[in-house]
Structure 1
Amino acid sequence: MIEKAVRPVFFFSLFFYSLIFSQSKGTNKEFKDKVTSNSQLFNTNIDKAYLQINQLIKESRVLKDSLSEMKLLEKKCRYFYNKNQVDSLIIASEQLQKASKEYNNVYYEAMGNIYIAETYSVNKFYDKAILHLNNAYEILQKDQSKSKKIFYAKANVLSSFANVYLDKNEPKNAAKKILEEIKSGIELKNPKEFANFQYLNYSNISNIYAQYNLDSAYYYAQKSIEIKPADISEDKSMIDNFTVIGQYYKNQKDYKNSIKNFHEALKISKRIGIELNINNIHKSLREIYQLTNQKDSADFYENKIKQYDLQMLQSKYNSLQEVISKDKQEQNKSSNRNLFLLGISSVLAIAASLFLYFKFKKKKNVEINQNLQETYNQLIELIKNNDPSFMFAFENVFPEFSGKLLKLNPELQQSEIEFCALLKLKLTTKEIAKYTFIETRTVQNKKYRLRKKFEIPQSIDIYNWIDGI
């Protein structure tokens, strides 16, 4: 079984490009040294480096060192990106965008748009993500200096486009974007810079190929390792390379070599603190240990998966609130003409959807009925067992449910969304009370509060209303 492709990493996530950035000569040298030291630490232990960043940002503002301030704000974005903390990423990326506009810096303004695009894409606002990526590219086009940092920023835009395509489950389109980057490397005349650039590109393309062509994925992962510059410590790209090679051997049923490479990836991840896509490794190891009847090891990684899923669900929920709030603000700024066109597009889309819905309704109903009861029973079993992974499983079955609720009321609490999920499954008041260990009166009160929050008339059955979400 081929694992789902993972998200490529930005090129400027590594310290070996930091020399491209120059700071003003008048800036305090001691402070510049601290920022440089933090950059070096960020490449080897991002958790320790992150602990220094807020204080360094304060110092940069006191010294009026705008370049250092933006560089440090971008590091915050990079930290949250690598830690998969999407809720914090959207806040940090907006801070970066605001500062870059204030200081009129096209590079960091573009990077702010790229990170914001990532948060939109994760939450399935793909059109918004593409809009911000196009904004980033237009901003970079204004710079006519042809500097290296603008070149790498444009590469970052392509990487983020690849991420959007991966989120949309279009790996072949994602691969095209990375292949564009590989081709663009011809602009780099310095052999070391070229090797640095393609080392990351080959790692990225191997991750994407891992979704549909493991032989090509293995080839590029090995190629990335071969050209890895000697002065670069093991990093995110090496985690990805070992992961892809582990997947390749797993597919070959060479479990010994597969486990060896997965553990190598985990070792680097633990040492440098990067957790992006780490759960793919946990799932592969769990599967291998299940296949080889090593129950204790399989259970160990099962628990790791559940812990990670719960963490990601919380982060996704928080980020979804931020994204929806930001989306509403942007919509309020739109002109009446844009709103009119949006309305017309929506009407046409709804009309087309209704046509397709009624055309294929009979066929869909047959397919749904075959799986609905089994899925329902599995979710109910998780509720009965008080399993913390219930909401994660529910989100997989109803991926748009939380987002639709939050659009109706962005102030909704996660506990209220979870209660709505129980109503979506049509659990009665007594069943909810029994499975969640609360009084029936408490369940009734929760229903009443939901009616008020969503302004559901008493004449409408709350289960029917929820079922329409």
Structure 2
Amino acid sequence: MKLNKGLFFFIILFFSNFILGQKPKKQLDSLFNRLLVMRSEGKLKESLVLCKELISGYEQLKNEEKALKTYFIAANVSSNLYNTKESLAYLDIAAKKNEVLKDDDILTKINAEYGRNYKNLGFYNLALDYYQKAIDVAKKTNNKINLGYCYGLRSVVYEEQKEYAKMYSDLLKAHEINPTTYTASRLAKYFISLKKNTDSAKFYLDLGNKYNTLKKLTPFEISILDRNWGRYYLEKGDYKSAVSYLEKSLEISRKLKKPQDIKDTHKLLADVYKLMNQPAKAALSLEKYTVITDSLSTEKQKIQDFPIKKIIQEKEINTQKTYTKLYILIALTIILFLAIYSYTLKRHNARKKENIALLNTKEEENVQLQQKVNESFEDIIQLAKSNSPEFFTRFQEVYPEVINELLKIDPKLRVSELTLCAFIYLGFNTKDIAGYTYRTISTVRNRKHNLRTKLNIPAEETTELWFKNLGNRLY
């Protein structure tokens, strides 16, 4: 008896689907292991694509544990690619899932990753808050690898805040808990840049090389080690060796697509070429450094409202929880004591006192805020004089009304143009601006002339007077 071809095909398809349906978890787990290898090899974009495939697969299987881990890895990879917005979105999902799973090790990593993202956005205090949460959980679980990792991350914030004693303390803790090429390289940088102690620096760099022979390093670790060898030879005056190491580090950072590392290496190369009396190469490296700095600042500006939205959302959730508890308390009080009128009167008086206390607190906060603004002025001046990449971000935090007013006049103003506005607003003259930003006086004059046109500054009014009057109107 011949079997109908259509029926035969249907049976084959049925059993194929049945057989394949038994394998997805095993196949996904195999891909997950491959993901871990790809991430360690620095194949970040490929890793992110695989993360999305795994997330879809694990969600369909309702494997919450593996889905949680994959969401976190996606957040980590996105952060390394400087896709901060995407990283925060993945982290929010991971944090929500972990409220149910309650995995303390992953909670440490989630808090640490939030810290990394907020540090990249320039929200240092918020980053420090999350790092402290991560450290507290790591201590509770006695996970030394996580603890060392968190100390290392927090030391980066302290370094950017110029709190070098705290930076060195955290970095040393990280290295003592879990010595790696990364921690050794950063300790070498500390001794080169801050202590000018090349002997101690070489000791840690040699340690970094030693770890390289003991285990296979990630491309990121090698790039950090090479960059700090470059710093070492720059300090020693061996410019040829410095360039060699910096170029190797730059090549790796380009492959990893890490703009922050690329930017830092270009700045070092500019310094070396300047000392080698090669102005053309120095100018080219400095130009690349500036382009990346402007690009990062632009991206940072686009998503700087994300942390604020998260804070507001958390406060709303906490407020809702508080009100829920309050309603329960009121209901129980009414049932137990049958004193509705008495309770309502007492509650009214209590709220009145709370409102008065809140008003007093707000007034005190306003005074403190004004003091902080005054203290911040000197900080901004120093960032401007050192041509720090954090200058515009810090200016925007302290004088947000100025930036908003300028963008009202011309919404198409670029970050570089707004940075020039910040210099002028702070009272720097053309010569000072040229010196601090490594540009010629004629270049600065031309840019100021273009600004006058974009801001519609009257011909009879100087640029400096116009900005001074702007400040008087706003403050």
User: What is the TM-score with the length of structure 2 in the denominator?
Assistant: 0.66
- Give 2:195's match in structure 1, choosing from 213, 224, 227: 213
**1:42 Cα deviation after fit:** 1.5
Please tell me whether residue 98 in structure 1 is matched to residue 113 in structure 2.
no
Asked if the contact 1:262–1:285 (Cα under 8 Å) also holds between the matched residues in 2, the reply is yes
Structure 1 counterpart of 2:227: 243
**1:236 Cα deviation after fit:** 1.4
**1:177 Cα deviation after fit:** 1.2
Structure 2 counterpart of 1:84: 82
Structure 2 counterpart of 1:43: 40
Structure 2 counterpart of 1:267: 251
Please tell me whether residue 346 in structure 1 is matched to residue 358 in structure 2.
no
Structure 1 counterpart of 2:266: 282
Quick one: distance in 1 between partners of 2:251 and 2:27? 34
**1:237 Cα deviation after fit:** 1.6
Amino acid in the other structure paired with 2:472: N
- Bigger radius of gyration: 2
Amino acid in the other structure paired with 1:91: A
Where do residues 12-161 of structure 1 align in structure 2 (5 Å cutoff)? 28-44=25-41, 45-140=43-138, 143=141, 150-161=143-154
Matched residues, number: 381
- 1:417-436 alpha-carbon deviations (Å, 9 max, x no partner): 86877876479xxx999626
- 1:337-391 alpha-carbon deviations (Å, 9 max, x no partner): 996796365256257669x88xxx9xx8xxx8xx9xx98xxxxxxxxxxxxx9x9
**1:276 Cα deviation after fit:** 4.1
Asked if the contact 1:199–1:224 (Cα under 8 Å) also holds between the matched residues in 2, the reply is yes
Amino acid in the other structure paired with 2:35: N
Amino acid in the other structure paired with 2:180: Q
Asked if the contact 1:73–1:95 (Cα under 8 Å) also holds between the matched residues in 2, the reply is yes
- SS of the residue corresponding to residue 84 of structure 1 reads coil
Amino acid in the other structure paired with 2:240: K
- SS of the residue corresponding to residue 193 of structure 2 reads coil
Quick one: distance in 2 between partners of 1:412 and 1:107? 49
User: Structure 1's 308 and 328: CA in aligned 2 closer, same or farther, altered over 3 A?
Assistant: same
**1:201 Cα deviation after fit:** 2.9
Quick one: distance in 2 between partners of 1:26 and 1:209? 54
**1:285 Cα deviation after fit:** 1.0
Q: Which has the higher contact order (CA 8 A, sep 6+)?
A: 1
Asked if the contact 1:221–1:241 (Cα under 8 Å) also holds between the matched residues in 2, the reply is yes
Amino acid in the other structure paired with 1:435: N
Quick one: distance in 2 between partners of 1:86 and 1:64? 27
Asked if the contact 2:79–2:117 (Cα under 8 Å) also holds between the matched residues in 1, the reply is no
Structure 2 counterpart of 1:13: none
- SS of the residue corresponding to residue 277 of structure 1 reads helix
**1:58 Cα deviation after fit:** 1.0
Please tell me whether residue 398 in structure 1 is matched to residue 395 in structure 2.
yes
Structure 2 counterpart of 1:182: 175
Please tell me whether residue 164 in structure 1 is matched to residue 157 in structure 2.
yes
Asked if the contact 1:120–1:128 (Cα under 8 Å) also holds between the matched residues in 2, the reply is yes
Asked if the contact 2:181–2:225 (Cα under 8 Å) also holds between the matched residues in 1, the reply is no
Quick one: distance in 2 between partners of 1:397 and 1:351? 16
Please tell me whether residue 321 in structure 1 is matched to residue 336 in structure 2.
no
Q: CA RMSD in A?
A: 4.4
Quick one: distance in 1 between partners of 2:126 and 2:95? 16
**1:51 Cα deviation after fit:** 2.5
Q: Which runs of 5+ in 1 are unaligned?
A: 1-24, 186-196, 376-388, 445-460
- SS of the residue corresponding to residue 94 of structure 1 reads helix
Percentage identity across paired residues of the two chains: 15
In terms of fraction of residues, the more helix-rich structure is 2
